[in-house]
Structure formats: structure tokens, C-alpha cells
Structure 1
């Protein structure tokens, strides 16, 4: 089913939905979605303030309707604000800013609700003003203030099974838009192959992925492309991931409920058997994100941009 938008009403302006969404309007909206077909058991839609609405009805649920509304906060706009919130240190922030400016391919990993999208948004504020950025997502979540941004989202098939637009299709279409940087909101399945092919062509990019650690993120990105078909195997995928991904930023929620970066990893571009070699650049030590003394093994992009990560990394060790 395609993702609908809430119809405009003279009695409900955008401000009426904040801070609390009006229950009666949501009920009326859900009813209009379901009334068109008795065969619809799920609804995934956007509300006027950008919140995501997901509904499941009986007999899929046991008794009651399950209505979930996911609201997005916009209080974090850049890396400096993440530093202020304690999500990462100033040194790590400067290193990540240098990574963005030099066009490193960055993979942001973490579990659900650990701040992966927030981190992507913050990283993208470090891009140069003249960059053309293309973003592709399953549903719109990224919120960029850049001057030249093309934002695209997927479309679910209609009731007749037609009109579907997948992430794979969007990634392929984005390459025809002459982007300076490609951002994929999240990779979960075979679309990871299309992302790797794009990055392997020299196009800088970023994406997020669900994973339990930075190294687990590399391993997962090395297996997801295998879902694309029988002609794809590890002999192609592993070296491609090793060569494409330059930096992995892993996010986590600590026991106090604070979202923070707990690891920044730099793949070397080499393989040790079936494992991608990588050096930790920052790790949590004593509750603080600390430089390990390690350095990125891939320096070509840094040098081409006239940047030296050692200046930032050694400054913290001094």
C-alpha cells in the first residue's frame, strides 16, 4: 500500500498536532485509510508534523488495534551539539568532521533508537556548501539544511500490486543525478549491493545499519549483498566492503538512557582470511570516548583534501 499523507482540514493546522497529536483526527484518518478495503490490516503513513504512524488491526493482533506514533526531535543539528550532549568528545567530533570534508565513506551502526539517523544528520552538516547531496530512505527521516539536496523515499505497491519504488531502484536512479555525495538512510537487504557498487565507483557516501558493534557492522554489510542473487558471492563482496568503507561509527544507549558514540573504527582495506582488518581509532575507556593512538590506514582521501588526521588524533594524546 502506498504511503498516504493526512488530508488537509480547515479545522486542523500544523500547530494543532504539537506537542500532542489530536486523537480524534488520528482516528478519523485511520478510518479513511481502512474503509477503502477490508483486506488492509496494516497502515504505514506520515502525519503532518513528520511523525510516523503505524497501525495493525485484528485479526492480526489478538484483540485491539495496535497504533504506534513515532515522533522525531530536531534539537540536534550538528556535531557540536552532540558534543554538548555528551554523545561524543570534541576530539572525536573534529576527527569525524575531517572525515566528512575529505569524502570518507562512513557507516553508522547501532541498535534501534541509538541515534543513527541523528548522527547521519550531524555528520552531513560538515559537508561543503556547494555539494549536491542525494538521500534515499525507506521513509523520510533525514532533515538536511544543505542548499542542494534531493531527498527521495520508497513507495509501497498499491492494492493492485503496482507502483512500488524500492531502495534498490532509488539508489540506481540517484546515480543519474550527478550527486557529490550519496546518503542511504539504512541498508537492510539486497540494496546494500547497489550501495557498494556506487561507493566502489568513487562516489562518497554514508549509510546506517543495525549492528551490535562496529566490527559486526562490517560483517553484516559483507553478508547482506548475498541476498541480491545467486551470482553474488563473498569473493566479490568482502574485498568490496574492505575497499569501500573508510570509517565505522558505532552508537549505543548507555544505562542512563544517553545516546552516545562508543567506537570509531577504520578498516584498513585489507582482508585477513574472511575478516576485514580494521583499527579502532576511538574507544570508550573509563566512560569516556578516547583516542586509542591508532590512525586510519587509508590516507589518500585525507591527503587529496589537504587534511592530516594525525593533527587531531595526536593532539588528544599530547
Structure 2
């Protein structure tokens, strides 16, 4: 099992993916490759137990899907029996190779031009709401951390996450994460609970680590109460991210109308940043400003579109 320890210790490895005992992949400098080593089922289970020790999470038949943050800030996601085949426990560890050093670091890496960084910096300073969209692994959390480093120190920030991933050194920031239900079925704390709770904490900015469900409606209502926001969403483009948020809101409950959600979203969502992951790296692909809604369609202005290799 030393090969797993070596992979985790490699500063250039971004992700380790273990598929049962048969295959192990690592993503190193943006390139995924198969390792020749294998690990047996019992050793993998022992490795998982060591990973989860001290995280407050457990993997068993009652909780076969687990997400947790490790001591070094890495995120681990595990699926085990009965969700998976008994001999095919899956482990995915995502490391944060890039420390959040501000938007200047992303300029140096070629992830965005200076003009885009300046617009995003201005958005943070002027308390505007920014949504960050992209595929898994596109760098959304990294950008969130970099954006938070630009928030003025007198602002109060409250973050809501399923697993702690946001890392920012702000003088007035409260971080909250969800909690699974206990063995008796009680004690669950959802993202909706956290977003509602955040409003009682006098936030200047509410941050949702990943919007992917009914919490979108609670966030939208909070932003319309005068707070600014910062959130990520999985989407295929900047405009698609707007439609995803609308869909999540409509599915949140009865009597939630599309036209109301669209107008409310257009009034609070200032910028949508779409990130794209390519073989040559991760880049800001689009920056879109939302200007309103006409005949059921969002009016948008493209502030930036990346040219060149976007495939």
C-alpha cells in the first residue's frame, strides 16, 4: 500500500482514484494515468478506516457513501457495499495542490488574463454576487478560495458546505458543514438548513460550496434579502448555470414559478464565471454579466470569452 502513500505525498498529484483492488489512477499535473500497482480488498478497507479516523464520518452498511475532509484539507469520497460490488469499494481523494494565493496566482498560471482578474477583484470589493460554473475538477473551489482572498477584511462571510473545502484567511468568517442523519434517523443538517441559518448571522456575503439541489431557492431568497453571494454549480456553460439554478429552485417545492425565479436570479446574479478543464490546463472560459430577463430568456453580456484551445 506504500504506492498510495507515495501518490498522496507527491505535491504534483491532484487526485487519487482507487477502483476496488483492480485499478488505481492518479491525476498528475492535469493528466490521468493508470498505476501498475494493485491493492487487495482488506488492505483497502484498512486504508479507508485510517483515512476516516478523526473526520467524524463512518463507512458501513448503513452509511455506504461518505464524503469527508482530511487533516491536510484534501477531500475524500468513498462508496462501498451495498452500493458497490463487495470487492469493488471506490475511493477518490482530491488534493488541493494550488494554495489560494489570490487572483494574481491564477494570472501567473495562465488561467485567466489580468483584465478578467481585475473585474473579478472589483466584484468582490463592491459586494457583487458571483457564480462559478464548470465540470468536476475544473478548478471551481480553487477560484472560490482565490476570490475570497479579495474580500475586504471588514466584511462578514458565512460559508455553507457539505464537506469543508473552502480555505480563506478572513478575520470575520464562519464556516458550517452538513451532517448526516444518525443511526436513529435524526440529527440531519442539510445545506438548506445551513443557508437559512446563515441569514441569522448578519452576513455580508453567503458562500455555498456547491449548489445542486433545493438549497438554491434558499440562497436566492437570502440574496434578495440584501446579502451578496458566492457559489459554485456544475454546468456546461455560463448561461447553462443560470438555467441549472432555476431548475433547482423550481424543484425545491410547490408553487415556485419559473418567471419569478428567473427575475429574482437576474436581479442578484451579477457575474457568471465558467471554467473549462482541457488537456493543457484549467482556464476561465467565459465571464457573463446578467442584465435581465426578456420573454423567459436571460439577457446576458459576455465580458470575456477565451479564444484558442478550448477542446
Question: Fold conserved (TM > 0.5)?
Answer: yes
Choose which of 22, 26, 37 in structure 1 pairs with 2:47.
26
* Superposed CA RMSD: 2.8
Choose which of 143, 152, 164 in structure 1 pairs with 2:167.
143
Unaligned runs of 5+ in 2: 1-5, 11-15, 17-42
| Aligned position for 1:46 | 69
Conserved? CA contact 2:133–2:232, under 8 Å: yes
Unaligned runs of 5+ in 1: 1-15, 289-318
| Aligned position for 1:61 | 84
Q: Does 1:170 align with 2:191?
A: no
| Aligned position for 2:298 | 276
Conserved? CA contact 2:52–2:70, under 8 Å: no
- 1:119-138 paired onto structure 2 within 5 Å: 119-138=143-162
> How far off its partner does 1:226 sit?
0.8
Q: State the aligned residue count.
A: 272
Structure of larger gyration radius: 1
- 1:225-244 paired onto structure 2 within 5 Å: 225-244=249-268
1:264-293 Cα offsets, whole Å, 9 max, x none, are 00011x2121111001011113459xxxxx
> How far off its partner does 1:49 sit?
1.8
Where relative contact order (Cα < 8 A, 6+ residues apart) is larger, the structure is: 1
| Aligned position for 2:30 | none
Structure richer in strand, relative to its length: 2
| Aligned position for 2:3 | none
Q: 1:201 to 1:37 in 2, by over 3 A?
A: closer
Please state whether the residue corresponding to 2:251 is helix, strand or coil.
helix
1:220-277 Cα offsets, whole Å, 9 max, x none, are 1111101111121112111111111011111001232x11101100011x21211110
Q: 1:249 to 1:35 in 2, by over 3 A?
A: closer
How far apart, CA to CA, are the structure 1 residues paired with 2:168 and 2:242?
A: 26
How far apart, CA to CA, are the structure 1 residues paired with 2:47 and 2:64?
A: 17
- 1:1-318 paired onto structure 2 within 5 Å: 19=9, 26-29=47-50, 38-62=61-85, 63-256=87-280, 258-268=281-291, 270-286=292-308
Q: 1:200 to 1:67 in 2, by over 3 A?
A: same
Conserved? CA contact 1:17–1:49, under 8 Å: no
Higher mean displacement: 75-84 or 17-26: 17-26
Q: 1:90 to 1:36 in 2, by over 3 A?
A: closer
Conserved? CA contact 1:193–1:224, under 8 Å: yes
Conserved? CA contact 1:158–1:164, under 8 Å: yes
> How far off its partner does 1:48 sit?
2.2
Q: 1:75 to 1:34 in 2, by over 3 A?
A: closer
